[in-house]
């Protein structure tokens, strides 16, 4: 019996040693290949049209849409929200969802569009190049700027269906040529090893000239989720607030929007409540975020996000408005419209505003 126990102990020691060695090699690989963007980086402007100054008297439109890396049809639930899945069902599903998202944007026909959660050759979205699909789908009418916010060589959890390689980002599309495009890093958890698996959140800043010698400054953002106590979301809001006030003091027209991962404060957090309990992370943007000269604008009647711990059921899932815009008071809004897709292609719905400049 002692010999048997000794042999079992030996084999267990070997197994533990092999697992420990694997983890050391794995974490070492992730550490060496960790994506480390600069605080401010110039990014490319694809298909950039001839720069044309924006008319002061013309009405413009802008939409924002988180497309959920093409995985979130109505049947999809996500493991990080308490669901079971880490990948899209199959490539066909991803292509159908991306096509549906593109057609939705085309039906809105915005002058400018913010899009989040665009995957490129990622395991979770079945190796589709969504940046290319969107650019081809929207056609030559739009120039675009893309910034990475998630690059991990391979995520080994959940162990029963590993998330795999992730390469993703966000992009701004425009019918008018950009003067410049920058990626601005937002604060995130940089403690090792957490930073190896988390998103590197960012904003995209695009500038367009107006005919009265000012600039329209567009800020496409995607803030943190799964942020305990909202620590990093608060820091990210501080970076945004400072940027908004700085640009406004220059006399520019400033418009920021995207996926805030907070409830937009001008909306009712319980307006779309169903049978499911409100998730802990569903909270308002804190009152401390109050940049001078700015206000939130969004259609209050259409939810822009559903919970993803279970497949979508219109009578059960908690929904709310976490996507929208904040604008400087030298811009006035002519109309606001959310688009209810019944979450067919993503766990988000797009929303749009139309606006004009004040002289």
In the predicted structure, residue 343 carries a pLDDT above the cut 90:
yes
Give me the percent of the chain exceeding a pLDDT of 70: 100
Which of the four pLDDT bands, split at 50, 70 and 90, describes residue 289?
Answer: very high
In the predicted structure, residue 135 carries a pLDDT above the cut 80:
yes
Count of CB atoms within 10 A of residue 91's CB? 13
Place of tokens 């292609």: 345
Mean of the pLDDT values across residues 277-286? 89
**pTM of the prediction?**
0.96
pLDDT in tens, 189-237: 988 999 999 999 999 999 999 999 999 999 999 999 877 777 898 999 9
Query: Token digits for 246?
Result: 């700085």
Q: Give the model's pLDDT for residue 298.
A: 98
In the predicted structure, residue 43 carries a pLDDT above the cut 90:
yes
In the predicted structure, residue 120 carries a pLDDT above the cut 80:
yes
In whole angstroms, give the CA distance from residue 77 to residue 93: 14
Q: Give the model's pLDDT for residue 229.
A: 73
**CB distance 64 to 264 below 8 Å:** no
Q: Give the model's pLDDT for residue 66.
A: 98
The end-to-end CA distance of the chain, in Å, is 91
Q: Give the model's pLDDT for residue 124.
A: 98
Q: Give the model's pLDDT for residue 230.
A: 79
Per the DSSP assignment, residues forming a β-bridge with 39 are none
* DSSP three-state, residue 169: strand
């Amino acid at each position: 019996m002692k010999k048997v126990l000794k042999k079992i102990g030996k084999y267990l020691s070997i197994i533990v040693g092999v697992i420990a060695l694997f983890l050391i090699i794995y974490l070492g690989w992730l550490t060496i290949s960790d994506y480390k963007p600069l605080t401010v980086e110039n990014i490319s402007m694809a298909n950039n049209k001839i720069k044309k100054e924006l008319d002061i008297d013309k009405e413009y439109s802008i939409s924002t849409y988180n497309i959920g890396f093409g995985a979130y049809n109505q049947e999809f639930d996500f493991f990080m929200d308490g669901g079971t899945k880490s990948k899209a069902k199959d490539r066909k599903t991803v292509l159908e969802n991306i096509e549906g998202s593109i057609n939705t944007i085309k039906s809105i026909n915005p002058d400018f569009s913010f899009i989040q959660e665009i995957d490129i050759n990622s395991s979770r979205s079945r190796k589709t190049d969504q940046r290319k699909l969107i650019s081809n789908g929207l056609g030559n009418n739009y120039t675009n700027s893309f910034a990475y916010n998630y690059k991990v060589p391979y995520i080994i959890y959940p162990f029963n269906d590993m998330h795999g390689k992730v390469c993703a980002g966000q992009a701004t599309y425009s019918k008018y040529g950009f003067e410049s495009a920058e990626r601005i890093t937002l604060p995130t958890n940089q403690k090792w090893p957490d930073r190896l698996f988390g998103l590197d959140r960012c904003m995209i800043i695009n500038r367009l000239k107006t005919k009265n010698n000012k600039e329209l400054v567009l800020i496409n953002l995607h803030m943190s989720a799964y942020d305990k106590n909202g620590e990093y979301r608060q820091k990210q809001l501080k970076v945004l607030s400072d940027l908004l006030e700085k640009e406004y003091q220059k006399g520019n027209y400033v418009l920021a929007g995207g996926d805030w991962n907070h409830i937009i404060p001008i909306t009712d957090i319980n307006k779309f409540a169903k049978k499911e309990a409100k998730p802990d992370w569903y909270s308002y943007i804190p009152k401390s975020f109050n940049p001078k000269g700015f206000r939130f604008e969004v259609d209050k009647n259409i939810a822009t996000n559903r919970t993803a711990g279970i497949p979508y059921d219109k009578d059960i899932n908690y929904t709310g408005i976490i996507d929208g815009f904040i604008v400087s008071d030298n811009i006035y809004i002519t109309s606001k419209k959310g688009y209810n897709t019944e979450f067919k292609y993503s766990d988000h719905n797009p929303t749009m505003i139309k606006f004009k400049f004040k002289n």
